[in-house]
């Protein structure tokens, strides 16, 4: 899909990406965000807290959604203006995950689409939510 | 969506406004305009339109969403689509 207008989208249009977050990804996110919570960076600490490994930053999960919004739904001329997300269980570093994004509402009047998304791993649903993106074809005031 | 009267509609619309603009203090009346609601700018208007379309399962036109001069006109438009 390329971005050329909201009419190219229809309810139930879907995109799927699979991904795995590495320790290097975690360190880069820690550098950018300043979030040095050891739950995400220190394996022994994470184990003591009852997790089987490093817990992936929620921000990195949102970053994967950003990939879909920024490149495909709706793409480079889209403006992401709203996000709701529930984190339901942790994703661990090295675990394979899948992000499914589905168009759940198309608003031609406002040139916008609402995307529902679910992130899953072998353990079940990691996160789910909704995002609103608008195709910008004029300067906003 | 069953037909609802104006007071019920304003009640539901108030809840949508409060959620979209993150303020429990919003009280709607026909005379309210965008300048009266913090955050009701062009992007806020888009969020509002999408929320209302989704809630009531209706669709506006771009002409309509650019033509409401106040909440009263907005409500009249919604009522026409629900009737």
Q: Residue A46 in contact with residue A53, Cβ under 8 Å? A: yes
The DSSP H or E segment spanning A47 is: helix A43-48
CB contact under 8 A, B53 and A109: yes
Across chain A, which has 141 residues, the per-10-residue mean pLDDT values are 71 97 98 98 96 97 97 91 96 98 96 97 96 81 55
What confidence score (pLDDT) does residue B2 get?
59
* Tokens read off for B8: 């019920």
Pairwise CA distance, residues A11 & A8, whole Å = 10
Pairwise CA distance, residues A75 & A1, whole Å = 8
Q: Residue B50 in contact with residue A114, Cβ under 8 Å? A: yes
Q: Chain A residues with CB inside 8 Å of B65's CB?
A: 109-110
Protein fold of B6-82 = 1.10.1200
* Tokens read off for B62: 């771009």
Strand partners, A15: A101
* CATH code reported for the domain at A6-21+56-135: 3.10.129.10
- A:B CB pairs within 8 Å: 48
What confidence score (pLDDT) does residue A1 get?
41
Q: How many residues are there in chain A? A: 141
ipTM: 0.83
Q: What pTM value is reported for the model?
A: 0.87
Q: Chain B residues with CB inside 8 Å of A79's CB?
A: 43
State the residue for tokens 């950003």.
A66
Q: Chain B residues with CB inside 8 Å of A140's CB?
A: 41-43
Q: Is A24 on the interface with B (CB under 8 A)?
A: no
CB contact under 8 A, A140 and B62: no
For chain B, list residues with pLDDT below 70: 1-3
Closest of A28, A62, A27 to residue A38, by C-alpha: A27
What confidence score (pLDDT) does residue A138 get?
61
* Tokens read off for A108: 């031609």
Q: How many residues are there in chain B? A: 83
* Residue range B40-63, pLDDT digits in tens: 999 999 999 999 999 999 999 999
State the residue for tokens 């009522």.
B79
Please, is B6 exposed, middle or buried when counting C-beta atoms within 10 Å of its C-beta (0-12, 13-18, 19+)?
Answer: middle
Handedness of CA B38, A107, B11, B82 (dihedral sign): positive
Strand ordering across the sheet containing A78-87: A14-20, A96-107, A112-121, A124-135, A78-87
Closest of A82, A44, A65, A69 to residue A126, by C-alpha: A65
State the residue for tokens 């709706």.
A74
Q: Chain B residues with CB inside 8 Å of A114's CB?
A: 50, 54
In chain B, where the domains are located:
6-82
């Amino acid at each position: 899909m390329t971005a050329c207008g909201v009419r190219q989208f229809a309810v139930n249009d879907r995109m799927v990406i699979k991904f795995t977050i590495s320790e290097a990804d975690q360190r880069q996110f820690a550098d950018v965000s300043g979030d040095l919570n050891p739950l995400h960076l220190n394996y022994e600490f994470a184990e003591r807290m009852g997790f089987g490994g490093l817990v992936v930053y929620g921000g990195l999960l949102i970053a994967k959604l950003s990939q879909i919004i920024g490149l495909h739904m709706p793409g480079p001329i889209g403006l992401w203006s709203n996000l709701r997300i529930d984190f339901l269980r942790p994703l661990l570093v090295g675990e394979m995950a899948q992000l499914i994004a589905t168009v759940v509402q198309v608003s031609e009047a406002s040139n916008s689409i609402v995307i529902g998304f679910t992130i899953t791993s072998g353990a079940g649903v990691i996160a789910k939510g909704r995002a609103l993106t608008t195709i910008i074809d004029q300067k906003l005031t | 969506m069953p037909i609802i009267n104006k007071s019920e509609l304003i009640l539901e619309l108030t809840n949508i406004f409060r959620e979209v603009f993150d303020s429990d203090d919003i009280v709607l009346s026909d005379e309210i305009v965008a300048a009266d609601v913090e955050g009701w700018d062009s992007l806020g208007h888009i969020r509002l339109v999408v929320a209302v379309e989704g809630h009531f399962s209706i669709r506006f036109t771009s002409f309509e969403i650019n033509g409401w001069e106040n909440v009263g006109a907005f409500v009249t438009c919604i009522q026409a689509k629900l009737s």
